[in-house]
Amino acid sequence: MTPKPPTPVPGHALLAGRTAVITAAAGAGIGGATARRFLEEGARVVIGDAHARRLRESAAALRDEFGAGNVAALPCDVTDEDQVDALFALAAEHHGGLDIVVNNAGLGGTADLVHMTDEQWSRVLDVTLGGTFRCTRAALRRLKEQDGEGVVVNNASVIGWRAQRGQAHYAAAKAGVMALTRCAALEAADFGVRVNAVAPSLAMHPHLAKVTTPELLAELTEREAFGRYAEPWEIANVIVFLASGYSSYMTGETVSVSSQRA
C-alpha cells in the first residue's frame, strides 16, 4: 500500500507580529520550510544560510509571496561569530527586535570511526554543535535585555539517542545539541526565555538525497511506522508549536518528530 501524502495545515496566526531568526533557511529543507510556515503564521523572518546564491533565491521567492517587508536575509556561516552577530543585528535593524530563534544549521556525513579524520570530526562538530552554541549565545544576550518572552528552538535529531553506523560525529554533535538545550533552558528561565529542541528522524529534501545513497534512504524509510519519510513542513509544524504560546510551559525539552517503530 502506497503511503498517503499528508495534507498541509493552514496558518492560524500563531506567531502574528513576532520576529524570528532562522539559520540554514535557504532551499527546500527544514529551515526553508520553517521560514515559510512562520510567515504563514504571521511572523516576520530573518533568514541566514552559508550558501549565498540559494539564500538570495529563497528570500526573493518568500518576498514575492509574503511581502518584501516581512523577509530579510543575510549570508551566515555559523562557525564565524562575526557573521552570527551580523545576522542578529539585522533582526533589530530590519524588524526592530527579536522574539524567536531557530537554530537549524547542521552538517552531516558518513564515515566509520577507523577511517574518520580529525578534520571530518571537527567540521561536523563545529557546524552542528558549535554553530548552535554561537547562535544560542547571541540570541540569549539579546533576549535577556528585551522586555518580553523569547524562544529558542534547536534542531537536534533522533540520532542523538540512537546508534547508526558511520554517524559517530553527527550523533555526538546532535546529542550535544540536546544537552546544550537543557542547560541553556535553565539559565534562560531566569529572564523568561524558553529553549527547546526538535529531534526529527527522517525528513526528505533535495540536499539529503544528494549526500545519501538510495539504499540507505530506503532502509531508513522502512523503519518509519507510516512507511514514508516526513515532509520538511511536518517538522516545521512542531517548531511552530514550540515557538508559539501553545508550549508556554515547556523548556529544556527535546521533542521527537518521528514515526520510527520502538
Q: In what order do the strands lie in the sheet with 44-49?
A: 71-75, 44-49, 19-22, 100-103, 150-155, 193-200, 254-257
Q: What is the pLDDT of residue 86?
A: 98
- Does the pLDDT at position 34 exceed 90? yes
Catalytically annotated residue among 170, 229, 246, 249: 170
All structural domains of the chain: 17-254 (3.40.50.720)
Of the candidates 76, 177, 200, 181, which has an alpha carbon nearest to the alpha carbon of residue 128? 177
The more confident residue out of 73 and 7 is 73
For 63-114, the pLDDT digits (tens) are 999 999 999 999 999 999 999 999 999 999 999 999 999 999 999 999 999 9
Average pLDDT over every residue of 117-137: 98
Average pLDDT over every residue of 47-71: 98
DSSP string computed for the chain: -PPPPPPPPPP--TTTT-EEEESS-SSSSHHHHHHHHHHHTT-EEEEEES-HHHHHHHHHHHHHHH-GGGEEEEE--TT-HHHHHHHHHHHHHHHSS--EEEE---------TTT--HHHHHHHHIIIIIHHHHHHHHHHHHHTTSSS-EEEEEE--GGGTS--TT-HHHHHHHHHHHHHHHHHHHHHGGGTEEEEEEEES-B--HHHHHHS-HHHHHHHHHHBTTSSPBPHHHHHHHHHHHHSGGGTT--S-EEEE--B--
For 198-235, the pLDDT digits (tens) are 999 888 656 555 556 676 667 676 777 787 878 999 99
Q: What is the pLDDT of residue 207?
A: 59
Q: What is the pLDDT of residue 255?
A: 97
For 154-199, the pLDDT digits (tens) are 999 999 999 989 999 999 999 999 999 999 999 999 999 999 999 9
Cα end-to-end distance, the chain, whole Å: 22
Instruction: Decide if 139 contacts 101 (C-beta within 8 A).
Output: yes
Q: What is the pLDDT of residue 229?
A: 74
Q: Which residues face 198 on adjacent strands? A: 155, 255
Q: What is the pLDDT of residue 262?
A: 47
- Does the pLDDT at position 3 exceed 80? no
Per the annotation, the verdict on 249 as an active-site residue is no
Distance from C-alpha of 134 to C-alpha of 86, rounded to nearest angstrom: 12
Chain centroid offset of residue 227 CA: 24
- Does the pLDDT at position 146 exceed 90? no
Q: What is the pLDDT of residue 2?
A: 61
- Does the pLDDT at position 150 exceed 50? yes
Q: What is the pLDDT of residue 230?
A: 87
